[in-house]
Structure 1
Amino acid sequence: MFFRIFLILLTAVAVSNAGIVNTKHNLSVTGPGTIKATTETEICVFCHIPHHEREGTPLWNRKMPTSVYNLYDSEFISRINYPTPQQPSEVEGQPGIVSRQCLSCHDGTVAIGAVYIVRGTELGNSVIQMQNVNPDGTLPSTLRTFIGTDLSVHHPVAIEYNPTIQKTFGDGSVKTVELVNPHPTPPIKLYTYGGKQYVECTSCHDPHKQNKQFLRVDVGNLAQDFKQTCISCHDKPGWTASAHNTDTRTYTDTGVNQHYGEGSPVSVADLGCGNCHKPHNVPPYPPSGKPLLRKPEEQTCFKGAAGQSNLAPCHGTGGAKDIESLLPPDRQYGHPVKTISNIHTILDVLYGYTSTEIDPAGTYDIKFSGSKHAECMDCHNPHKASPGTHADNADPSGWYPQNPTNLVSNTLSGVYGIEPVWPGRWTQPSTFKTMAEAQKEYQICMKCHSRWGLGDSTNGDCTTPNTSSQSNIVLTDQSCEFNPYNRSAHPVVMTTNEMLALGGRYAAPLTAAQLLPPWNSNVGNQTMYCTDCHGADAEDGVDPRGPHGSANKFMLKGPNTNWPTKPDGTLYTTGDVKAVANGTDPNALDGLFCINCHDLTQADPHMLTWPGPMRSIACVKCHVAVPHGSPISRLIGYETMPEPYNYNYNGTLQLRIRGFKWNTTMSNRDVYAPSCGGGGMCHNTNAGGYDTYP
């Protein structure tokens, strides 16, 4: 019996020795790495001893570090109430003991040759002499394998594996911690302490395995092993069909292809999670970002694993889908992705203007006043964004969706959002429901462009205390403007027929003749994106779709991008409409943003035939200059409205109407505007029954 047991043990040692002999964990003089002994020939002795082991199993022979480590932490862990890592223990049977054994070489505090016993002899204060180490025998900090005592930039160890934790949002939707349930897929290994399962260094790495990076997963090249290791534990909804898991475009960065592809080109799909994340954020890829991003914030999206954006099939300048060059300051107007950095935290949507506290304290929220930001992940979920463009199946013009909708597109799938609880018309919502996943595009936009991010109005209407740094115009609350109870609004939240049914709106939808394709089909039953109006300069075939940045003010997009002034600085007028209609100047409306979608010649009030000044009236003397919505029908504005609804042209506010009501057949008395003049012949009579404001 003894002989049989001895043979089993001997075989086990032989197998382990055979696996490690050609790896860098063979620290004997025969090892293939640069860190190795000067004379010592034994291989296993650097970690193990058959008798008289010290701290830890199995049969541990190394001196253990006494380091106090800076542990991994993140806002996501705190905000979803996930257990934080424990200080790696020196005591067998407690979380982190296995990781501390690995760190006895890799944290750089214990000499590589610091073992207890060699061939029955206790070394005491002596160490096995090593090559290419620091003078004190420790691992040089310049090496990729150096971890150090700052574990905050490395994948957490001594952390509980608990896939049941989740966060419930205001609308009742749920965000899970997104871990494989109930446990990782083999060959990943968990460790049980006190009835709970924990992740350790050797959950992912087998120190004896003759494999790239000692990964337990071995399915292909290092890129493929890397990705498969991550998804063995992390179950990201939508990942399988996502662009970052399926895109076959490859890196041209030699370093990436040598390291991850072993000399062959590495595709986005091959590297998967590794395009953006790195479990050990150490040289040669500093500086890093959180959570475990290769680079800080947007630079990860621009460059991926490459050193330069033009060598990556990513979103940087020269990349496969260049977003970087669309953003300010390269384009004058747009989201400040590059100009405001290091202000983004996971689940910041939970803490808007009405929130009284932030958890954890001292982190950021979504408020414009102190946490203004626009990171890529505010609008995109990189784990779920699917291949395609912001609006697939463009209409023949190339600018708009062929089938108008307000539902999130593939590129916006899985993004946090908010849904306002709509109050009475032209009133800021006081309540918002947070959402784990926005279902409609406006629910993403309104995280920032509403009271949730911008705060209370100072005028008791839809204006806010904030001013755009790009246009110097007061920012307005779009949840107030697109409120479906308003008398008029573009159909961003719901269709115009649905707004009619709510009772706030009473004016009928426009006719098909008053609209251009694709909006002239199924009129009254369509919705639209915010990004049908706001986007890049050349979305009809050059620029990637979406409101990243533009040379046009307000990021207005389409064949015509001027509002409310012409390129020469003068105002567009009804006289221009008349000139187009009667053919005297077919180009009079060129550049006017509204004519991308509207045929203005088909609206009777635009075709004024009266003589004198009534022949030509500036659009903004009747209509609000922020045409999202109005408390008045047909986007009419009253002269008592503040800027920016009341357009300030050369120091003069333009709105002239004091009362308006919509009728199927308009008459002079449907408009009350005595300041327009007209000698009592036009709109000087207050007939009453008008839409009210405020």
Structure 2
Amino acid sequence: MSRKNKMGGMEVAKLRLPASLRRWPALRAAARGLAVVALLATSATVVRYATAAYTPPTSNIAITAHNLSKSGTKTVTATTETEICAFCHTPHSANTALGKPLWNRNSSGSTYTRYTSGSLDASNIVGGFNAQPAGSSLLCLSCHDGMVALGNVNVLRGQSASITLNNTNSGNMPTGVGAQTGFTRVIGTDLSNDHPISITYNSDLTTADNRGVAAAEELRRLDDSQRYPSGDPAAGSSSVIGMRSSGIKPLLPLEGTGKDGAGQVQCTTCHDPHITADKFLRLNRFQLAAPSTTGFDAENDQICLACHPKLGAAWASSAHANSVTADEVYTTEAAALRQFSVKGQVPAVWQVGCLNCHDTHSVQGSRRLLREGVNGDPLAISSGTAAGAAYQAGYASQTDNQVTSAVENTCFQCHRDAGTDSKGVKNALVAATGSTVPSIKSLFDLTYGMPIKTVDQANGTKEVHNIYTSDFLEDPVNLGQGNNANRHVECTDCHNPHRVRRGRTFVTTSSNTAGDDGALRTHTPGGKTGDLSTGNGNVASGVLRGSWGVEPTMPAITYTSWPSVPTGFDVKKGDPGSAAAPTTRAETLTATYLTREYQLCFKCHSNYANGPLATDFPALEYSGVNCTSRRCTPKTLANGMTRYTNVAAEFLSVTATDPPTTGTDQGEFANGTSNKGSACGGGDCEPRTTSGTAPDNGYNHRSWHPAVYPTGRDRAERKMASSGTINLMAPFAANIGIQTMYCSDCHGQESSWTAGSGPTAGTVQGPHGSSNPFLLRGVWDRCVTLDNVNQSTAAPGCQSGTQRRLCGTCHKPKTGNSNGGSGFNFNHVPDSDMSSIRCMVCHIAVPHGWKNKAFLVNMNCVGKEGGQTGDCVKAGGWGSALYAPPYYNGSMLLISSWARSGSWTDTSCGGGSMTSANC
């Protein structure tokens, strides 16, 4: 900008173009137009056309692949024909049926299968979606659908002709690597794997796609004249998107083929068949600088962002677009196969941008334009190209090669082990110095894994996953409510790849700079929600940013029965923008977006995706046509469980707050003046006066692992000494009573957690896969003992081997001293060593939350949760173990009287003779 002209009392900055660009008349006119626009803008409204410095592509068809004449330099050329334009145009006797001038070809007349998805809002708008392609798209398809010979033209020197061409597929479009691969431009008649065309792009569509949220801009907003940026560009200037008119040439032109002449997206919106640009694209195929967060930058931004800004800053800051985080580069072979090149160099992930995961003309069978998003054996691709095309498909070899959608295989292009796997499939990337892409595929390959493969899912034949918004929402019915055959999991059920960040919390700035918070791939456990400096509590990590989940609404807790079932759910969705992480329970409930890991888990592991009854939850499969060792737990290792449980109900059947408050289920009742805690706002936590379970002498209370609420039971409440050895290990030995934790602290692979310290630095966290049933970090069966070993590995229902036992990952119940806190006076060693006693003799088998303190069973008071008709019935006991899944698995403990923490004796459990005989 230079010099200021005074016009009508306003000072208007005059745009001065660089000398190298002044030769373009359109750009000089654009500069004048910007000055006019500035006159119309108020101080609060500035219209920015990010096109002034943009150099348009060169139009020279003679040196492109569309020169099919003998003089052409690409693969397909004529044997003798020297005319260049004749393959598409004729000055006389042109085909007028297609509505375009001088067209020299006929449409194949094919019926096309159109692209569709749960989030294609154009199909729900009147006139928004043509049943069949129209306009210029039909012209492109007359060659690219592979149905008509390339040399078949209507008129050549006054008569019809069929021009002979070299290197074709029997005269038709050559298939490249293979017609069924993603590396061909034989688009075919099945357009379900191609970017939608002949759809109306107007304000109705953008309002629908952005769900009416004024601040949202997943799809670029057009004004009522179908323009972006909004406003009337001056004659001779260029808007980014719009309809062509006299003197107005949008960079991405819409075509008036819609209802009442409405502008529609056609092939020529993105492609100009005459220009020399990569893929004939009107704008950049790759990202040349950091993505713009304030508008579209035609000089540097990828063409996709012109229409799909993905909330702007949310995408620009994501781990897949941030130039510091996404600095890995493609292997030479992978880049060559995908034709990825930026200024002659192999590009980095951030430069490839959208094309890392999507291809506007993707592989047959994939959905949502996902690159490589199909099952198939990569070595089945045509001979001579198998090594390169091995990137094509994932790891699931099936007979219907490359036709079954498999969303996870898009992610596995990069999120797999380095080198080549047993099928010849390679990781597409070379890691940058100091950073690596986490291998997720190897975790799903463990003995037990999330049922991410289609064959492992309840449907078994096709993916059910189908989001309907940019927040990746799915209807509860699609998650399994009312139809367990819909139950599924895909990568994008938990992660939003357009918003994820690398960092320990979702508010982290994505970066892998050494020492920066963004260099951490996971959370720091053991913290309290109100202070994220030393630990993150249960605050969602960076990889969960922008995903969605639910916050259950609980009824008034009934203490005569357990559990209580959530009565409603608040869906947490959207990108948090620049918001800080909520530090209190009230802030968590107010936030409209996902802030806690448990919210993500609860959308599937609650009655939100199932139903209120236990029988509404899916059965655990032990055998069956769709059951594999990855999906199903051997019946002997399932702790007697037959169905999944309502995890949200188990955790939330309490009265609690965060931070803890007295008068709830938090704290320890009547623990004496010398053992008052300080968890409740700096004061003692006194629980409510009754637990509702017999014998009710006031000392019992509900218990839970603090995935949602802290317990309020600090060291003083538990009668632990203020320092010294305790029965909790780091990182949970600090912030006792006020800390919260993650579901993934217990669920995940064993090697990603080090007992006594926590998550192993540099390893992937989360419940992707494990060597243990229920994706647990350690063995948890009815034979696990205090010594963290199995009592008898030969017993039914017990795992053999030397794997870590789950409880011993964080708990150390046998410390050999009297400083262990909860439990007997001498830490589970009252009269003799109890190290050989099975944990489930006294504790429940599913320790999320429970009606009694310390997850203790009580055979004197078993309710409906144990198969009884009443709420407090004597069932089983010493010498007569109760097996009533899912909670009772060889349970024998009889409580004679509930004791305060640290005050238990053998008489509390029936007397010395009974406990000594069994313990």
**1:345 aligned to 457, 461, 465, which one?**
465
Contact 2:210 2:219 in 1 (8 A): no
Structure richer in helix, relative to its length: 1
**1:418 aligned to 550, 554, 563, which one?**
550
**1:210 aligned to 276, 289, 297, which one?**
276
Residues in 2 aligned to 1:660 and 1:111: alpha-carbon distance in whole angstroms: 89
Residues in 1 aligned to 2:739 and 2:125: alpha-carbon distance in whole angstroms: 43
What SS does structure 2 have at the residue aligned with 1:243? coil
Residues 274 and 65 of structure 1, relative CA distance in 2, 3 Å threshold: same
What are the residue-to-residue correspondences of 1:162-561 with 2, within 5 Å? Answer: 162-166=205-209, 178-182=218-222, 185=240, 187-192=251-256, 193=258, 194=260, 196-218=262-284, 228-237=302-311, 238-246=314-322, 247-257=326-336, 259-261=339-341, 264-282=345-363, 288-296=366-374, 297-304=407-414, 308-312=425-429, 320-327=437-444, 330-338=445-453, 340=456, 342-347=462-467, 350-352=474-476, 355=477, 365=480, 369-388=484-503, 402-423=534-555, 424=557, 426-437=563-574, 438-458=594-614, 465-466=619-620, 469-470=632-633, 471-473=637-639, 474=641, 475-483=644-652, 485=654, 494=658, 496-497=660-661, 500=665, 509-512=712-715, 513=720, 515-539=728-752, 540-541=760-761, 543-557=763-777
Do residues 603 (structure 1) and 822 (structure 2) align? yes
C-alpha deviation, 1:133, in angstroms: 3.6
State the partner residue of 2:130: 86
Residues in 2 aligned to 1:595 and 1:231: alpha-carbon distance in whole angstroms: 46
C-alpha deviation, 1:248, in angstroms: 0.8
Contact 2:780 2:806 in 1 (8 A): yes
TM-score, length-scaled by structure 2: 0.58
Residues 153 and 281 of structure 1, relative CA distance in 2, 3 Å threshold: same
Please, which moves more after superposition, 435-444 or 178-187? 178-187
Q: Which AA in structure 1 matches 2:131?
A: Q
Residues in 2 aligned to 1:595 and 1:517: alpha-carbon distance in whole angstroms: 10
Residues 52 and 624 of structure 1, relative CA distance in 2, 3 Å threshold: same
Residues 563 and 411 of structure 1, relative CA distance in 2, 3 Å threshold: farther
Q: Which AA in structure 1 matches 2:543?
A: T
Please, which moves more after superposition, 263-272 or 605-614? 605-614
What SS does structure 2 have at the residue aligned with 1:443? helix
Contact 2:169 2:175 in 1 (8 A): no
State the Cα deviation string for residues 11-38 of structure 1 (Å, max 9, x = none): xxxx999611101112222122232333
Residues in 2 aligned to 1:659 and 1:457: alpha-carbon distance in whole angstroms: 32
Q: Which AA in structure 1 matches 2:156?
A: V
Q: Which AA in structure 2 matches 1:631?
A: K
Q: Which AA in structure 2 matches 1:97?
A: G
Contact 2:148 2:172 in 1 (8 A): yes
Residues 346 and 565 of structure 1, relative CA distance in 2, 3 Å threshold: same
Residues in 2 aligned to 1:481 and 1:288: alpha-carbon distance in whole angstroms: 39
Residues in 1 aligned to 2:408 and 2:106: alpha-carbon distance in whole angstroms: 42
C-alpha deviation, 1:217, in angstroms: 1.0
Contact 1:626 1:645 in 2 (8 A): yes
State the Cα deviation string for residues 125-156 of structure 1 (Å, max 9, x = none): x3334333455x43244572211111111111
Residues in 1 aligned to 2:780 and 2:345: alpha-carbon distance in whole angstroms: 46
TM-score, length-scaled by structure 1: 0.75
Contact 1:494 1:527 in 2 (8 A): no
C-alpha deviation, 1:449, in angstroms: 1.8
Residues in 2 aligned to 1:101 and 1:395: alpha-carbon distance in whole angstroms: 49
Residues 680 and 207 of structure 1, relative CA distance in 2, 3 Å threshold: closer
What SS does structure 1 have at the residue aligned with 2:303? helix
State the partner residue of 1:12: none
Do residues 127 (structure 1) and 162 (structure 2) align? yes
Residues in 2 aligned to 1:333 and 1:177: alpha-carbon distance in whole angstroms: 39
C-alpha deviation, 1:448, in angstroms: 2.0
Q: Which AA in structure 2 matches 1:435?
A: K
Residues in 2 aligned to 1:418 and 1:630: alpha-carbon distance in whole angstroms: 22
C-alpha deviation, 1:118, in angstroms: 3.5
Contact 1:633 1:662 in 2 (8 A): no
Contact 2:821 2:901 in 1 (8 A): no
Residues in 1 aligned to 2:907 and 2:263: alpha-carbon distance in whole angstroms: 73
State the Cα deviation string for residues 63-91 of structure 1 (Å, max 9, x = none): 233221111111332799567741345xx
Contact 2:286 2:352 in 1 (8 A): no
Residues 476 and 226 of structure 1, relative CA distance in 2, 3 Å threshold: farther
C-alpha deviation, 1:555, in angstroms: 3.5
Contact 1:302 1:309 in 2 (8 A): no
What SS does structure 2 have at the residue aligned with 1:624? coil
Residue segments in structure 2 that go unaligned for 5+ positions in a row: 1-24, 26-55, 229-239, 242-250, 292-298, 375-406, 507-516, 528-533, 575-593, 623-631, 667-686, 692-700, 704-710, 721-725, 753-759, 794-803, 815-819, 867-883
Residues in 1 aligned to 2:218 and 2:75: alpha-carbon distance in whole angstroms: 39
State the partner residue of 1:621: 841
Contact 2:108 2:147 in 1 (8 A): yes
Residues in 2 aligned to 1:253 and 1:389: alpha-carbon distance in whole angstroms: 32
Residues 496 and 117 of structure 1, relative CA distance in 2, 3 Å threshold: same
C-alpha deviation, 1:398, in angstroms: 8.1
State the partner residue of 1:692: none
Do residues 73 (structure 1) and 116 (structure 2) align? yes
Residues 397 and 198 of structure 1, relative CA distance in 2, 3 Å threshold: closer
**1:113 aligned to 151, 163, 185, which one?**
151
Do residues 26 (structure 1) and 42 (structure 2) align? no
Contact 2:66 2:274 in 1 (8 A): yes
C-alpha deviation, 1:159, in angstroms: 1.4
Residues in 1 aligned to 2:215 and 2:812: alpha-carbon distance in whole angstroms: 41
State the Cα deviation string for residues 94-141 of structure 1 (Å, max 9, x = none): xx211011111111223323333335x242xx3334333455x43244
What are the residue-to-residue correspondences of 1:125-164 with 2, within 5 Å? Answer: 126-135=161-170, 137-142=171-176, 144-161=184-201, 162-164=205-207
Q: Which AA in structure 2 matches 1:534?
A: H
**Across the two proteins, how many residue pairs are aligned to each other?**
609
What SS does structure 2 have at the residue aligned with 1:434? strand
Residues 49 and 222 of structure 1, relative CA distance in 2, 3 Å threshold: farther
C-alpha deviation, 1:663, in angstroms: 4.4
What SS does structure 2 have at the residue aligned with 1:260? coil
C-alpha deviation, 1:412, in angstroms: 0.7
Residues 43 and 394 of structure 1, relative CA distance in 2, 3 Å threshold: closer
What SS does structure 1 have at the residue aligned with 2:70? coil
What SS does structure 1 have at the residue aligned with 2:60? helix
What are the residue-to-residue correspondences of 1:631-670 with 2, within 5 Å? Answer: 631-639=851-859, 640=862, 641-642=865-866, 643-644=884-885, 646-648=887-889, 653-657=890-894, 663=900, 666=903
C-alpha deviation, 1:659, in angstroms: 7.1
Contact 1:449 1:479 in 2 (8 A): yes
State the Cα deviation string for residues 282-325 of structure 1 (Å, max 9, x = none): 5xxx66444434223211111159983334359xxx98311111
Percent identity over paired residues: 31
Residue segments in structure 1 that go unaligned for 5+ positions in a row: 1-7, 9-14, 90-95, 359-363, 488-492, 573-589, 683-694
State the Cα deviation string for residues 514-561 of structure 1 (Å, max 9, x = none): 654443444443322111222222221463222211224444438x98
Please, which moves more after superposition, 500-509 or 270-279? 500-509
What SS does structure 1 have at the residue aligned with 2:744? helix
Residues in 2 aligned to 1:99 and 1:517: alpha-carbon distance in whole angstroms: 63
Please, which moves more after superposition, 289-298 or 64-73? 289-298
Q: Which AA in structure 2 matches 1:110?
A: V
